[in-house]
């Protein structure tokens, strides 16, 4: 296998939307409690920092929670939503520019058994990792991992040689951001065409 860790230069470019598109097909590997599990990214969503009203750090709002997004690219930003779901983000751009890419869905590769166990599932179904809340649960990612390096021992992002053709990538507008004016029209959500592990289209 031709696996290579993604470089810091990859994350630290100013083109967050481009990074979100290129993350499709890359592989997330977690090593939690000595057990390894991994999944291929099939759906992402870009958050363009201070100029993006849908982003937590809009207008450079700075709190304990968003502090992680101000790190330079290459770190994990994990936060809790609705009290029960952990959402896994990849921090991009340079230090003090709070851009991030939300990973919305992955296709399981290794550690199927441990993922099913974490999700209390007996069968292998696409819904195991199709959705931002459930994929982090399946991979064992929690709020404790916010600020972790993406080249570190616990969480790694690798290029394992999966090629995604441009014609297989669907870009669509994000939902629920009508108020954001022109930003609402930007196609910042990326998915792999016809992949059963993407979350259902809205």
Partner DNA sequence: GAGTAGATCCTCT
Partner DNA sequence: GAGGATCTACTCA
Q: What residues line the site for DNA (CB under 7 A)?
A: 45, 47, 54-56, 61, 63-66, 69, 77, 79-85, 87, 89, 100, 102, 119, 127, 131-134, 143, 176, 199
* 90 and 77 Cβ atoms separated by less than 8 Å: yes
Pick the closer one to DNA by CB: 42 or 102.
102
Pick the closer one to DNA by CB: 13 or 65.
65
Token pair, residue 94, equals 């340079």
Tell me how far, at minimum, the Cβ of 85 lies from DNA, in Å.
5
Pick the closer one to DNA by CB: 50 or 160.
50
Tell me how far, at minimum, the Cβ of 137 lies from DNA, in Å.
8
Handedness of CA 136, 21, 64, 154 (dihedral sign): positive
Tell me how far, at minimum, the Cβ of 89 lies from DNA, in Å.
5
DSSP letters along 90-102, please? EEESSTT--EEEE
Tell me how far, at minimum, the Cβ of 126 lies from DNA, in Å.
11
Pick the closer one to DNA by CB: 12 or 85.
85
Pick the closer one to DNA by CB: 80 or 154.
80
Buried residues in 117-146 as b, exposed as e (16+ CB within 10 A):
ebbeeeeeebebbbbbbbbbbbbbbeeebb
Query: DSSP 3-state helix, strand, coil percentages of the chain (rounded to 5)?
Result: 25, 30, 40
Question: Which residues contact residue 138 at a Cβ distance below 8 angstroms, ignoring those fewer than 6 apart?
Answer: 37, 39, 108, 115, 118, 119, 128, 129
Tell me how far, at minimum, the Cβ of 158 lies from DNA, in Å.
22
């Amino acid at each position: 296998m031709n696996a290579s860790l993604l470089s810091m230069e990859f994350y630290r470019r100013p083109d967050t939307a481009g990074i979100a598109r290129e993350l499709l097909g890359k592989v997330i590997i977690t090593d939690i409690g000595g057990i390894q599990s991994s999944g291929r990214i099939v759906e992402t969503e870009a958050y363009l920092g201070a100029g993006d009203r849908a982003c937590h750090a809009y207008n450079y709002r700075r709190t304990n929670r968003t502090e992680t997004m101000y790190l330079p690219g290459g770190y994990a930003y994990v936060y809790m939503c609705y009290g029960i779901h952990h959402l896994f983000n990849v921090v991009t751009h340079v230090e003090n520019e709070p851009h991030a890419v939300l990973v919305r869905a992955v296709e399981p590769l290794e550690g199927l058994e441990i993922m099913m166990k974490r999700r209390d599932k007996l069968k292998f179904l696409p819904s195991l990792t199709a959705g931002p809340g459930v994929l982090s649960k399946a991979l064992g990612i929690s709020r404790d991992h916010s600020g972790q390096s993406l080249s570190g021992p616990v969480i790694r992002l690798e290029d394992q040689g999966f090629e995604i053709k441009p014609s297989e990538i669907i870009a669509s507008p994000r939902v629920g951001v009508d108020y954001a004016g022109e930003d609402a029209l930007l196609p910042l959500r990326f998915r792999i065409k016809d992949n059963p592990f993407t979350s259902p289209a809205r």
